[in-house]
Amino acid sequence: MSLSQNISIVHPEYFFITGLTGIPYTTYYYIFLFIIYFITVIGNSIVLLIIALDRSLHSPMYIGVFNLALADIGETNALIPSMMKIFLFDSQYISYNACLANMFFVNVFITVETSTLVVLSFDRFIAICFPLRYHAIVNNKLMSVVFSVIWTFNTCMVTLSTYLMTRLSFCTSNVIDSWYCDYGALLNLPCNDNSINTLFAILIEALFIVAPPLIIVLTYVGIFLALCKITTWEGRLKALKTCVSHLLVVGSFFLPIICILIASPTTNARNIIGSLSLALPPMLNPIIYVLNTAKIKDLIRKMLNNRSAPIRGNVSK
């Protein structure tokens, strides 16, 4: 194996991604991944276009949905093509620099997605708990600032974590037992001290994986208490209906991760479930928001009717 050495730090020329080797029905799994990729890119692109082009959707909640769709497209493009490359070209090799780039982009978009889910939960909390003050507290300018801070802060944190990876020496193994260049999997390989990297990994996990669901649960406790104060069931259901899309998106993202932590499946099963837990939510998110948002459904209906009208006119002639 060709190695490049800088003082006492040894960086392999290549890493081997072995997380999805030996799984049953490999061909069908990768075909499924391709379908997921296609639906994800098309679905999220439609959501982005609809929100960007229709002024009635230029509201705080849809700024959040727009950023969620943006993060979903980014995560999908960072994750699935690199997985498909292993299958299509029968190559488990990934260069050292490409591995760090893969790690960086996947982690940036995942952290933005979890942060966006927290922001959307606060949006629902303010809308239901303080309905008369909602527009005074939450507005487009505030949401734009919040998401600018999220993208900047998350990118800086992931950049620092990726940079710290370059100080590790991989002189014993270059085999990554994961489906992508996973930060955690790489931390098991170095032959020098990785305590700083481990502490930083714990910090990032606490900020972006552990804290978000806890904060979301707390906001929904507040929402539940506010709903209890509404006297009629119709009023409660109407308010709760505005949270359905967000709850489904949160569930699709965090439940598979929680299941992996609780069930502790075998290595192959863990890698399959883990890869799907990152690949499926970006596909489901646009479907959930389209099906549960009357405005978006009406806009899509109008667009389809406008396109079919000239066709019908030409046929009648």
274 occurs within a structural domain: yes
* C-alpha span between 150 and 70 (Å, rounded): 13
In a domain, 317, yes or no: no
Looking at residue 166, its pLDDT comes to 93
Q: What is the pLDDT of residue 2?
A: 42
The answer to whether residue 189 is domain-embedded is yes
What per-residue confidence (pLDDT) applies to 4?
44
User: How much is the pLDDT for 313?
Assistant: 55
Residue 271's pLDDT is what?
Answer: 82
The count of structural domains within the chain is 1
Which residue is associated with the tokens 């978009």?
Answer: 109
In a domain, 42, yes or no: yes
Task: Give residue 257's pLDDT.
Answer: 79
Query: Could you tell me the residue range of the domain that residue 132 belongs to?
Result: 3-312
Q: What pLDDT score does 157 carry?
A: 96
Q: Say what the pLDDT of residue 238 is.
A: 86
DSSP class per residue in 49-74: HHHHH-GGG-SHHHHHHHHHHHHHHH
Give the CATH number for residue 131. Answer: 1.20.1070.10
Give whole-number Cα distances, 69 to 102, 112, 152, 274, in Å: 19, 11, 17, 21
What is the pTM (predicted TM-score) of this model? 0.89
- The neighbour count for residue 192, using CB atoms within 10 Å, is 12
Q: What is the pLDDT of residues 280-295, one digit of tens each?
A: 999 999 988 877 776 7
Give me the pLDDT at residue 20, please.
Answer: 81
Residues of the chain with pLDDT under 70: 1-7, 261, 263-268, 294, 307-317
